[in-house]
């Protein structure tokens, strides 16, 4: 799972601490950071992505063109920079190693900003925000908060952070392999609910047209996903952040969000 739930307050503290401790001087930045100039000179922004992570980065019908929310956002960012987006597909386990090795300029694959990653990489401003949610049958009126899960049964992947959240809320967890199984058990009435990422539910609702489920409650804190860069890629990260600001202001991000999720997940 790429979206790891981290309290926003903690992220702010870490980001401010890192900014105060490790900001390069103008001289050092000018002398070593050619991340933006090399992209502009080559005319291409090389992007690492999985290509198998629907709805963010995937192939239509399994073997068609590469598409997805992250892919389209990346192409729009590249256009703002005046370059062409070139995608390099790789498995998630090797995606950061490829970034460090310089195989691509950035990663567009719903990379969540975490304290650990902030120490090792540069990030753009976020372009996706999400929460943890409780998904229940549409006619359920008894589950209104995470506290409501106490004594009830939820379906969860046992290795996910959502399993931990459900357990902490007092739920009895029935283990499943992933979202497809968990949502099926909710629809069949075999469990009371499932806890998962809001984007996962919105994608399912958008693609399936299902009206028999709803979100009963959301976490207060949100996760944030952004483009990731090598630690010496500050100039490129800042340019991408400026591009994202433009794309937010002109409605492009909202339009792409609605296309894939039926809701604006960009703010």
Q: Which residue is it, tokens 């399993």? A: 163
Does residue 73 sit within a domain? yes
The predicted model scores a pTM of: 0.81
CATH code, 68: 3.40.190.10
What residues make up the domain containing 181? 132-218
In 149-194, alpha helices (H)? 161-168, 179-187
What would you report as the CA-atom Rg of the chain, rounded to the nearest whole angstrom? 20
Query: Is the domain of 228 the same as that of 167?
Result: no
What confidence tens digit (pLDDT) does each residue in 74-109 have?
A: 999 999 999 999 999 999 999 999 999 999 999 999
Taking 50 as the pLDDT cut, the residues of the chain under it are 1, 3-30
Q: Residues 6 or more apart from 26 whose CB is under 8 A from it?
A: none
Does residue 3 sit within a domain? no
Does residue 161 sit within a domain? yes
pLDDT at residue number 2 = 53
Query: Is the domain of 167 the same as that of 231?
Result: no
pLDDT at residue number 24 = 42
Query: Is the domain of 125 the same as that of 227?
Result: yes
Query: Is the domain of 27 the same as that of 59?
Result: yes
Query: Is the domain of 32 the same as that of 160?
Result: no
Query: Is the domain of 136 the same as that of 156?
Result: yes
Query: Is the domain of 116 the same as that of 89?
Result: yes
Query: Is the domain of 58 the same as that of 181?
Result: no
Query: Is the domain of 78 the same as that of 121?
Result: yes
What is the crossing angle of helices 252-261 and 234-249, to 10°? 80
């Amino acid at each position: 799972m790429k979206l790891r739930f981290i309290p926003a307050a903690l992220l702010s503290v870490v980001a401010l601490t890192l900014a105060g401790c490790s900001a390069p001087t103008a001289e050092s930045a000018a002398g070593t950071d050619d991340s933006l100039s090399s992209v502009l000179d080559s005319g291409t922004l090389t992007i690492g992505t999985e290509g198998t992570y629907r709805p963010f980065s995937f192939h239509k019908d399994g073997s068609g063109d590469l598409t997805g929310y992250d892919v389209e956002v990346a192409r729009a960012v590249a256009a703002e920079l005046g370059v062409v987006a070139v995608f390099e597909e790789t498995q998630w386990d090797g995606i950061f190693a490829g970034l460090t090795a310089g195989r691509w300029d950035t990663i567009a694959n719903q990379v969540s900003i975490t304290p650990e990653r902030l120490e090792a990489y540069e990030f753009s401003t976020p372009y996706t925000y999400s929460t943890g949610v409780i998904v229940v049958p549409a006619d359920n009126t008894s589950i209104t908060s995470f506290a409501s899960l106490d004594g009830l049964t939820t379906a969860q992947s046992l290795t996910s952070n959502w399993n931990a959240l459900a357990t902490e809320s007092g739920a009895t967890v029935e283990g499943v392999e992933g979202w497809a199984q968990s949502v099926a058990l909710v629809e069949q009435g075999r469990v009371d609910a499932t806890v998962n990422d809001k984007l996962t539910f919105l994608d399912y609702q958008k693609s399936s047209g299902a009206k028999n489920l709803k979100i009963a409650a959301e976490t207060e804190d949100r996760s944030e996903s952004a483009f990731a860069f090598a630690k010496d890629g500050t100039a490129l990260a800042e340019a991408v952040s400026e591009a994202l600001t433009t794309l937010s202001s002109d409605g492009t991000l909202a339009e792409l969000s609605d296309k894939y999720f039926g809701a604006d997940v960009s703010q």
